[in-house]
Amino acid sequence: QGCTQKYIVKNYFYYYLFKFSAALGEEIFYITFLPFIYWNIDHSVSRRMIIVWSTVMYIGQVSKDILKWPRPLSPPVVKLEMRTDAEYGMPSTHAMAATAISFSFLLATVNQYKYPFELGLVAAFVFSMLVCLSRLYTGMHTVLDVIGGALISAVLLVLLYPAWDMIDHLLLTSPFCPLLSIVVPLVLCYNYPKLDYYSPTRGDTTTILGAGAGATVGFWLNNQYTAPDYTSENFQLGFPLITGKIVVVMLARFFVGIFVVLLTRQLMKSVVLGMLGYRYKFPIGDLEARRQLEVEVPYKFITYSSVGFSATVIVPLLHEQLGLM
C-alpha cells in the first residue's frame, strides 16, 4: 500500500538526482555498462567486473530471501518505487552492486591506466554513495540495509581480489569452463530459496547469472579461437589521450553493440517464451504462468545467457566487419 501513497515533490534537484542514482543500481544499467567496458576499455577489466558482479549479486539476493527482513514501513516513509517493494530489504543489493562495481573497476584499472588513484577513489566513493543514498531517499531501505549491503560487498571484494588472476586464467583456459559456466548457475537458480509468495528476486538473480554465464562462455571461446581484441594503442596508453576521433569510435561501438544486444534479447524472449508456452500450455501474456519456476528460470536464463554471449562474441565480430576495431 505504501507505493500508492500520494506525495508532493518539494525539491526537484534531490528528487531527480536520487531517482537517477537509483537507476544506476539496476540490472539493466550493468548489463549495458559492463559490455561498454568490454568493447571500449579492456577485456580483462570487464571479465573481473563480471566475476565480482555475478558473485556479489547472487549472495545479496539469496541473503534477502533467507533473512526475510522487511523493508521500511510506509507510513512513515513514502516509497517511490513499486516493483522492488515485493522483495525483502536486508541487504540492499543496490548498495552491494554499486560498491562492488565501482571499487572493482578502480582496482582493475588503476595499475593499467594513467590516472591518479585519489581521483579514482573519489569517483568510486561518490558513485556508490549516490546509489546508497538513493535507496534511503526512495524509501526502499533502512540505513542498516544500506550499510550492511556495502559492508558485505566490501568483504566479498577483499576476498575475491587476491584470486582474480587465478579465476580469470581458469575461465579462459579450462576445458571445463563452458560446461561449468552453464551448469553451476542453472543449479543455483533452480535451487533458489523458496518463498510463500512471489518475489522478483529469483527472476533478477537468474537474469544476472544467465548474463554472466553467457559472457563467460564467450570469454572462453574468444581465448580459444583468438577472436578480435580491442587493442588500439590509444586506449591502452591511458584515458588522458582519448581524442575526439576515439570518442566517436567508442560511441559507434556502443550503439552498434547495444542494438545487437537488444535485438538478441527481444528475439530470444519471443522464441523461448513461445517454446515454453507450447510445452506448458499457457498464453505468452499469462504473467502468473511466467512466474512459475519451470518457466521463469529457463526463460530468463536462456534469454540473458544469449545476451551475454552475443555481447562478447557476436558484437566484436560485427565491430571487426564494420572497421571499428
As annotated, the active-site residues are 94, 141
Vertex 290 angle, CA 288 and 294, to 5°? 115
How many CA atoms within 13 Å lie on the side-chain side of 1? 4
**182-191 burial code (b ≥16 CB/10 A, e <16):** beebbeebee
What is the C-alpha to C-alpha distance for residues 296 and 81, in angstroms, rounded to an integer? 23
Grid cell in block for residue 48: 573481473
Q: Is the peptide bond before 316 cis (omega within 30 degrees of 0)?
A: no
By the 10 Å C-beta count (0-12 exposed, 13-18 middle, 19+ buried), 305 is classed as buried
Which residues, 6+ apart, have CB-to-CB distance to 109 below 8 Å? 41, 42, 45, 115, 120
Grid cell in block for residue 270: 519471443
Q: Are 27 and 209 in contact (CB under 8 A)?
A: no
Which residues, 6+ apart, have CB-to-CB distance to 252 below 8 Å? 322, 324
Which helix (H) or strand (E) segment holds residue 198: the answer is: none
Spatial CA neighbour of 120 closest among 103, 98, 95, 133: 103
Grid cell in block for residue 278: 507450447
